[in-house]
Structure 1
Amino acid sequence: MKKNNTTMKYKYLSLMICICIGLSANAQPADTVAAFSLKQAIDYAQNHQVSILNARIDEDIARNTVKQTIGIGLPQVSGNANFQDFIKLPTSLLPGEFFGQPGTQVPVQFGVKYQSSVGLELNQLLFDGSYLVGLQAAKTYKELSNKNLTRTRIETAVAVTKAYYSVLVSNEQLSLVDANLARLRKTLSDTEAMFKNGFVEKIDVDRLTVLQNNLDTERENVIRLLALNVNLLKFQMGMTINSSLVLTDSITSLQADQTVLERDSSAYRNRIEYSLLETQKKVNEFDLKRYKSQFLPSLSAFGSTSQSFQSNNFSELFSSNFPSTIIGLRLSVPIISGGIKLNQVRNAKLVILKTQNDLVNLRNGINLEVDQAQTTYSNSLKSLDNQKRNMELAQEVLRVSKIKYEQGVGSSIEVTTAETSLKESQNNYINALYDLMINRVNVDKASGRIIY
């Protein structure tokens, strides 16, 4: 019996594990196999990146909050019902003169043992300054949430673009390393053959072997970096890490525009951050109006109807009823608030002043960001051109060194030095290429030209 119980426990545990795995699988995005261009990757991210999905949820929350504000001014109807059983009826003392007993107090019980009532109550707001301001601010509040979504979409597009470029640059770096390895292996093979025939020394073979070992290690590092960059791109796109992703664009097809842009002193007007802060200022101004409106009276109408049932016998409680209906107006006039409302108004004015200062500071900061981005981009253009020339020169130096070595008028040191110089120039070229593409994205972002 004990063994059967243990078996049942294992079966139950296995069933629970399967259920949990199934729920977890449903909760997570499915692994996919996809081949994307840069534009397709950005479009995919716009529909799957968690930050954008949450921004859309915030937009829905803002929309529901506006409806909630509007609902305050609509009729409010509530129902109520109660039942009371007076186990002991309350007693009151009445003067004895009512009962012919002057100078005494006579205890008297009023009411019945069982009481019940049902009713409806209606309230309608007629005038409230805070409510009117809230209605005016509703459109601005929705606008704020829409701009927050736009900012998130732009930031996601920038992050995906940079991650996409990182993968392309890593692929380019891997291609250069593979080309170097192929060339070096051939050189090493030829040198080993020359060594066997006694034309070169063993140290010549050893130098090339060291270079090959270093290139093999570098290739492994580049492959690991490439895998990491691909996973980063998946993350920025909102894909699962286990998904298979192939990039269809190449560096040549996405080569950054190498024109130097003119400085635009009004670029801040294109930035979503500046527009967001302007909208926030409007919200703060509505807050000030709302606090000021609290000094105004409010007026509401109300009405209620009810049915009351009373009896000393529970079975006869609902045999008779006593209706009651009331309508009226309720006026509330603020008189003294202990300075609370006055200080709320003062603080609201100070918040607006801070927002104005933030606008000035943001405008200056954006102008500075544009200048920095353009300066860095111009430097990247010059650096890429210089590194490209250096790489071409290094390739020519290596070609000449190999010819001299093969003809016996050069040394193996010259060849290994030329190989090292070429590898270094290629790495510098890759870094310069990456910097150029990233800095171009920074220029477009700083100037407000990335629009979603």
Structure 2
Amino acid sequence: MNNYLNLLLLLFLGIAPEVNAQSDSIQTNGLTLPELVDFALQNSPGVQQSELDQQIGERQIKSSLSGWLPQVSANYQLTNNLKLQTQPIGDELITFGQPFASNFNFSATQTLFDRDQFFAYRGAGLVKEELSQSLETNRINTVVIVAKAYYDILLTYEQIRVLDENMVRQEKQYLDAKSRYEAGLVDKTDFQRASISLANLKSDRNRVNASLSAKYAYLKELAGFPQDEELALNYAYESLEQTAHWEEGFDFNLEQRVEYQLAKTQLATTELNTKYAQWAFIPSLNGFYNYNFLFFNRDFSGLYRQSFPTSSVGLTLAIPLFQGGKRVQEVKIARLQQDRAELGLLDFEKQLFTEYERALADYQSSYYEWKTLQSNKELAREVYETIKLQYDEGVKAYVDLIVAETELRTAQLNHYRALFTVLSSKLDLMRALGQINPSSINTSL
């Protein structure tokens, strides 16, 4: 009767035993993995910061390119010449100016050629591409870390299911051992062992269940989900098993990795920096136009009665002749930095290939282990059921039943742990192959 009440309590708490856990879901109306990842791509702090960085970069590009447009300014000046300037001319001293003077100046300049502006024009496309690739890289990383945190919580739930199933079974064994001991059929050793096993199971379940709050907090942090709101998850075990399978036919291609595209863009930027250093030998050319209203008078009241305007238009050509060899050294520095970036790109290609080989090996070994442990779980269940029957008939000792129970529980936990290891390693493999597309989550995961 106590066993039946315990089972009802577990069912009431929503912790059903894992007799057929494969067809159950944690929540029926929670977020699926694609929905959660889609939420994270819109609300993750890391992604939002990258989006702001992209907007900042685009504004900086527009700010740099504004130098190609005419630069117009206006200046106003009012002067009270307390002491007028006196200059000797011949044998006479001549006083220049008026006590009160003012001018209102309009000026416009137009850059015709300047290496800074030319560099901004040539580099605008590279900067935009780098910002876009950086954002895409962060989005891909968000997909991976959110999915892994999601799988970690699902693994914890499956562990709780296994422990609940074992607690129900162990509770029954505890009651049976207690009844046999009270009836004088066995000594108290079986009863004590059953009590110890049940206490250990309760401790394990409490430890695993206590970790859920921290894992949910971590998932909320990654996804940008409000910490004070409840996050419910939804999954079906069959879909997870299907997701664990990897369809062959994807070849490793560096160009599919956004990180590699970003590295190539950064290399192109160093090449442009070399050209920028070389452009230091080229003169800069600017056009200008000025219009100046001059006002002066002996009395302040009559200062603005008449204006004496002046205007000018022309070109300014600045020719850098000699700077002590500075420009030559800057060109050599830029070329060395470009050579270093090229070596870095070659090394990065090797790193990406190594990452792919490691991810492929991890997935294949994890998948093989999962399939092996799946068979072990079924065998452990058969062994337990056989020994349980033999124990009930008095053929096997209770210690054999405890060993079989422990082996079954270990096989079940190892099986689920292996499944979620496969899912995590598959994410790493997909990232290594460049197969994660944040724009179409349902087809990527």
TM-score bracket for this pair, using the shorter chain length? 0.7 to 0.9
SS at match of 2:286: strand
- Tell me the residue number matched to 1:444: 430
Worse overlay, 203-212 or 231-240: 231-240
- Tell me the residue number matched to 1:304: 290
TM-aligned CA deviation for residue 375 of structure 1: 1.0
For the structure 1 residues 428 and 74, does the alpha-carbon distance in structure 2 shift closer, same or farther, using more than 3 Å as the test? same
TM-aligned CA deviation for residue 443 of structure 1: 0.8
SS at match of 1:252: helix
SS at match of 1:352: helix
- Tell me the residue number matched to 1:75: 70
Q: Provide, for residues 96-119 of structure 1, a one-character-per-residue CA deviation record: whole Å limited to 9, x for no partner.
A: 3x4xxxxxxx5x532222111111
Identify the match of residue 285 of structure 1 among 260, 271, 277: 271
- Tell me the residue number matched to 2:443: none
1:136 aligns with 2:131: no
- How is 1:416-435 mapped onto 2 (pairs within 5 angstroms)? 416-435=402-421
Q: Provide, for residues 7-27 of structure 1, a one-character-per-residue CA deviation record: whole Å limited to 9, x for no partner.
A: xxxxxxxxxxxxxxxxxxxxx
TM-aligned CA deviation for residue 319 of structure 1: 1.8
Identify the match of residue 245 of structure 2 among 238, 258, 272: 258
1:204 aligns with 2:199: no
Q: Identity, % of aligned pairs?
A: 28
- How is 1:220-259 mapped onto 2 (pairs within 5 angstroms)? 220-255=206-241, 256-259=243-246
| Distance of 2:138 and 2:207 partners within structure 1 | 33
- Tell me the residue number matched to 1:42: 37
- Tell me the residue number matched to 1:7: none
TM-aligned CA deviation for residue 195 of structure 1: 1.3
1:333 aligns with 2:328: no
SS at match of 1:450: coil
Aligned AA (2:198)? Q
RMSD: 1.8
Instruction: Tell me if structure 2 keeps the 8 A contact 1:405–1:415.
Output: yes
SS at match of 2:267: helix
- Tell me the residue number matched to 1:51: 46
TM-aligned CA deviation for residue 128 of structure 1: 2.6
| Distance of 2:418 and 2:384 partners within structure 1 | 22
- How is 1:18-29 mapped onto 2 (pairs within 5 angstroms)? none
TM-aligned CA deviation for residue 74 of structure 1: 0.7
Instruction: Tell me if structure 1 keeps the 8 A contact 2:45–2:222.
Output: no
Instruction: Tell me if structure 2 keeps the 8 A contact 1:268–1:274.
Output: yes
Instruction: Tell me if structure 2 keeps the 8 A contact 1:130–1:293.
Output: no
Instruction: Tell me if structure 2 keeps the 8 A contact 1:261–1:374.
Output: no
| Distance of 1:360 and 1:127 partners within structure 2 | 36
Identify the match of residue 396 of structure 1 among 353, 374, 382: 382
SS at match of 1:408: coil
Q: Provide, for residues 39-85 of structure 1, a one-character-per-residue CA deviation record: whole Å limited to 9, x for no partner.
A: 11111111111111111112112222222222111100000001111
Q: Provide, for residues 284-337 of structure 1, a one-character-per-residue CA deviation record: whole Å limited to 9, x for no partner.
A: 111112221121111111111111111221112212221111111111111012
- Tell me the residue number matched to 2:59: 64
| Distance of 2:161 and 2:214 partners within structure 1 | 17
Q: Provide, for residues 228-263 of structure 1, a one-character-per-residue CA deviation record: whole Å limited to 9, x for no partner.
A: 222222122111222211111233212234347468
Aligned AA (2:274)? L
| Distance of 1:206 and 1:225 partners within structure 2 | 29
Q: Provide, for residues 152-190 of structure 1, a one-character-per-residue CA deviation record: whole Å limited to 9, x for no partner.
A: 111111111111111111111111111000111011111
Q: Provide, for residues 128-162 of structure 1, a one-character-per-residue CA deviation record: whole Å limited to 9, x for no partner.
A: 34423431221121111111111111111111111
SS at match of 1:283: helix
Instruction: Tell me if structure 2 keeps the 8 A contact 1:263–1:371.
Output: no
TM-aligned CA deviation for residue 274 of structure 1: 0.5
Instruction: Tell me if structure 2 keeps the 8 A contact 1:63–1:142.
Output: yes
| Distance of 1:66 and 1:207 partners within structure 2 | 74
Worse overlay, 386-395 or 42-51: 386-395
SS at match of 2:434: coil
Instruction: Tell me if structure 1 keeps the 8 A contact 2:295–2:307.
Output: yes
Aligned AA (1:77)? V
TM-aligned CA deviation for residue 124 of structure 1: 0.7
- How is 1:377-396 mapped onto 2 (pairs within 5 angstroms)? 377-396=363-382
For the structure 1 residues 259 and 90, does the alpha-carbon distance in structure 2 shift closer, same or farther, using more than 3 Å as the test? closer
Aligned AA (2:193)? R
TM-score, normalised relative to structure 1: 0.86
Instruction: Tell me if structure 2 keeps the 8 A contact 1:78–1:120.
Output: yes
Identify the match of residue 354 of structure 1 among 340, 350, 360: 340
- Tell me the residue number matched to 2:25: none
| Distance of 2:268 and 2:219 partners within structure 1 | 37
TM-aligned CA deviation for residue 403 of structure 1: 1.7
- Tell me the residue number matched to 2:81: 86
| Distance of 1:183 and 1:416 partners within structure 2 | 11
SS at match of 1:253: helix
Question: 5+ unaligned residues in a row in structure 2: which ranges?
Answer: 1-28, 439-445
SS at match of 2:143: helix
